[in-house]
Structure 1
Amino acid sequence: MTLNPNSASHAAPEPGQNAALEEAGLPGREWQLASVVADHRLRRNAGEMVTPYRKSFVTMVGMLLQELPTYPVLEVFYAIGHQAGEGVVQALSDYDAKNELENAFQQCLGFSDASGFTQFTQPALDINLDENRFDARVGMLSSIESDAYLAIPHPQKLRVCTMESGYLSGVATALAGQAVEFTETRCRGEGAEQCEFVGKLVRDGHHADEKETANGAPRVPTPLMPLVGKSSVMQTLRSRISVVAGTAAPVVIQGETGTGKELIARSLHMMSNRDKQPLITMNCAAMPENLVDAELFGVQKGAYTGADRTRMGKFQLAHEATLFLDEVALLSLETQGKLLRVLEDGCFDMVGGRTQQVDVRLIVASNTELAEAVKRGTFREDLYYRLCTIVLRSPPLRDRKADIKTLAEHFLNDAASRHGKTFSGFSAAAIKYLEGLYYPGNVRELRQLVEAAAIFAEQDGVINRELLTTGGHVPQSQSNQQQISAAEMASTLLASGVSMQELERACIEQALTESGGNLSQAARLLGISRRQVEYRVKGS
């Protein structure tokens, strides 16, 4: 297994070059590095391998990190590294994936070292593709990005070696023939003595490794990236998540209802160094306004009538972990001010209690544009700018039609497991039907549609189009008819002189009647939040 001399215009290695590499700090590695060694003179300098071009690259990277927004630059570095890693593997010849993968992986590390971009340490590898296992831990003493970043005056502590995590991911993915993701777990850019990367096999949006439970229960798969789909928008989203997961910066997730914003938040948490602690979540839309502060910041015993014990809030529970606030735009302006204080200095006051200090990574989500909420005066501008360090977009299903088949099969497998049934998959007509729908409810709507079909389907049966429509889904043509009839209804109501207030009150009363007085069910029927129903009921 060697680097293919025909894959690049490099001279063949000269005698004694392997010895020179060992002298340069690579003992025990018999790299075939004709392409690099022929072009560059290697020398030792402060424990690093350096090429004549390294200093120029460090300067260039430093300028980019200092002059441009950090995270977009890091995303570009990740993409460059990933492509470079795939290219190095293509230069390998006589490669046996089953028997030589570990050796080939180490050879690719040496290629990067000899180029002067990195100085990796000996990796710890446990790879067996037959058992769906790829566990790798790689240390790195230096890199261009970390050197450049540390040279910037007063840098924020960040994990910046995304070109290397991209390179390792590209190499491992190309060698294994399936997705492998490397995440930087320590970085010199955040004060560590050396950088460290952990690589895992990713399969169907999950880590393929298994972890034993603390009580000795059977080993179960541990999810890493619960985002299913291989469309370009999902690949871009995964790349962005990989870049920002290791930072402490707040993240805003914007997207329509049902697009999987909480799954993105869980992915960010699981790929961070806070993953040993649970992700704490709160849906702001489901919380009555008078209880929001108590839920977020905790209550001191005796703070008010009925407060018979001290109760911790979400921020205390999320100390040294991650807090996810869904529908953050629905928080009152007063609570938003308290949230801003936590973001600024990590402090807040318990209801009726003393000041608390916490270390929390905050992720928020909204199905409305926060910038528009600022313009309307319902969201604080200072909080908006403090939160929007990083904004991730959760794409609607109509923008990722290529994922519909994969998602449908994923949901069908999940339904089969929960209902104790087996299926023979979807018919071609069923998939075509699914791919032709508009999905105003996005991925959640698709999941419910497949769930209903699975319930009606026979054991070992095929999910056909008829079963999908039996589940109660309204085809697009009928949906369009509903839109037309709604327009006609509006015209009729305007002609009748019925006021908007009367119409709203009638709709709410009807929804409450049909739901038996259940506010949450009435909210679902009306397509608004429970808090909005509660507010309108009180105001009527």
Structure 2
Amino acid sequence: DNLMVRGVKDAEINDPDTDYIDGLILGRSKRITEVKSIIKRVAEPEVTVLLRGESGTGKELAAQALFRCSKRRNKPFVKVMCAAIPEGLLESELFGYEKGAFTGAHRNKPGKFEFANGGIIFLDEIGDVPQSLQVKLLQVLQDGEFSKIGGKEVKVDVRVIAATNKNLERGVASGTFREDLFYRLNVVGITMPSLRDRREDIPVLTEAFLRKYYNLYNKIYSSLSNETMEKFMAHNWPGNVRELENVVKRIIVLGSEKVDIGGQAAQVSITDTAHIEKKTENKDADTTVKPCSLREIAKEAVQKAEEEAIRKALIACRWNKRKAAEFLSISYKTLFYKMRQYNLLE
């Protein structure tokens, strides 16, 4: 029985979908772990998913994870930023038009739904779709059919994933968003947590972004000071993960020891710009930055943060393993395994 349980756990650890989701959506907090678990469970069933959350929380990454783990992973993934397309053009962008449908329509034009046929269409900022188009979206969700501008009926096989940072229930109550469309979209609702609600993920995210952009900009890696990390942990991050990523990017690009975070100048331990070397053409040079995938960066960042958390818990509990396991909300067996993995056994 123990061998069977261990085999199941090993299969979960080595599952490629789990690896992909973990590499795409970084973090080990309870909130984000629950989100990743839901994504994995609803990726295969052919249901419509509504992703909700503030700007910058990673709704598009969640949509990509759903696509990658779905049965349609080898089919098209078409993203439509509804808020970025003028209202007068959105219908033709989504549904296309027939030649001669209006002045200037000199040829047939397929819409995004046709391009996504067989795959997934991601409707970002669905709350900004005008009422005049909501009934047409409802028809696609109900029947898989719609009319192109100019009259031709089109049938498609498309799975819909939508996202919004708006309160759609409020839109339903005010009459600006159709109630029937809301329920069609919200078969499965996933709320992406704000960064301030999962602060324990900030070190992991920061480390991943540091490694990503030091590598991208061919600069020598340098960690942030404790003072800066304290400011990172205290900041409310209204722009969420996107804001954190931009702050880290700004630190690396400017090579400055100070960066403004929410109106506060944070001290940063950055290597002096005189010592930051660009990648040379000499492949044997020690300063050459090796290319690495985001998944590798994420894995390394998570392991580093995990080791540090375990070390601090052990110190706080005077190296009493059972107390440390309780402190970390993990089993004694898991703690022992992790301690052996990180060479923390006495």
Are positions 1:374 and 2:213 aligned together? no
Is residue 263 of structure 2 the alignment partner of residue 475 of structure 1?
Answer: yes
Contiguous gaps of at least 5 residues in structure 1: 5-31, 33-84, 90-104, 106-167, 174-178, 182-198, 207-225, 459-465, 479-540
Q: Secondary structure at the match of 2:222?
A: strand
Q: Which contiguous aligned blocks of 4+ residues in structure 1 show a shift greater than 3 angstroms?
A: 475-478
Q: Which residue of 1 aligns with 2:11?
A: 172
SS at match of 1:400: helix
Contact 1:251–1:362 at 8 Å: present in 2 too?
yes
Alpha-carbon distance in 2 for matches of 1:301, 1:283: 25
2:190 matches 1:392 = yes
In structure 1, distance between residues paired with 2:167 and 2:56: 16
Give per-residue Cα distances to partners, 1:194-236, cap 9 Å, x unaligned.
Answer: xxxxx56727823xxxxxxxxxxxxxxxxxxx10111111110
3-state SS of paired residue (1:205): helix
C-alpha contact (below 8 Å) 1:370/1:379 kept by paired residues: yes
Residue 388 (structure 1) shift: 1.1
> Conserved in 2, the CA contact under 8 Å of 1:282 and 1:325?
yes
Q: Residue type matched to 1:180 in 2?
A: N
Whole-Å Cα distance in 2 between the matches of residues 296 and 240 of structure 1?
Answer: 28
Name the counterpart of 2:245. Answer: 447
Cα contact 2:235–2:262 (8 A) shared by 1: no
2:102 pairs, out of 304, 312, 315, with 304
Q: CA deviation at 1:424?
A: 2.2
* 3-state SS of paired residue (1:424): coil
SS in 2 for 1:434: helix
Deviations 1:108-143 (A, max 9, x none): xxxxxxxxxxxxxxxxxxxxxxxxxxxxxxxxxxxx
Alignment counterpart, residue 202 of structure 1, candidates 5, 8, 19: 19
Counterpart of 1:500? Answer: none
CA RMSD in angstroms comes to: 2.1
Deviation at 1:447, TM superposition (A): 0.7
Q: Which amino acid aligns with 2:19?
A: V
Q: Please point out which of 27, 33, 43 is paired with 1:245.
A: 43
Aligned-residue sequence identity (percent) comes to 38
Report deviation, 1:386. 1.4
Quote the residue 1:406 is aligned against: 204
Within the candidate set 316, 327, 336, 2:125 is matched to 327
From 66, 69, 84, give the equivalent of 1:286. Answer: 84
Distance 2:72 2:86 in 1: 29
Q: Return the alpha-carbon distance in structure 1 between the equivalents of residues 26 and 168 of structure 2.
A: 27
* Matched residue type, 1:413: R
Residue 222 (structure 2) aligns with: 424
Higher relative CO (Cα under 8 Å, sequence separation at least 6) belongs to 2
Gaps of 5+ in 2: 267-346
Indicate if the aligned counterparts of 1:346 and 1:360 stay in contact, CA closer than 8 A: yes
The two structures have a TM-score, normalised by structure 2, of 0.73
Q: 1:54-82, CA deviations, whole angstroms, 9 ceiling, x for partnerless residues?
A: xxxxxxxxxxxxxxxxxxxxxxxxxxxxx
Structure in which a larger fraction of residues adopt strand = 1
Helix, strand or coil at the partner of 1:253: strand
In structure 2, distance between residues paired with 1:339 and 1:353:
16
**Partner residue, 2:156:** 358
8 A Cα contact 1:269 1:275, kept in partner: yes
Higher mean Cα deviation, 273-282 or 426-435?
426-435
C-alpha distance in 1 between matches for 2:43 and 2:20? 19
Q: Distance in 2 between matches of 1:475 and 1:233?
A: 28
Aligned residues: 266
| Contact 2:21–2:36 (8 Å) recurs in 1 | no
Q: Secondary structure at the match of 1:252?
A: strand
Partner of 2:140: 342
Q: CA-to-partner distance for each residue in 1:175-205, whole Å, 9 max, x for gaps?
A: xxxx433xxxxxxxxxxxxxxxxx5672782
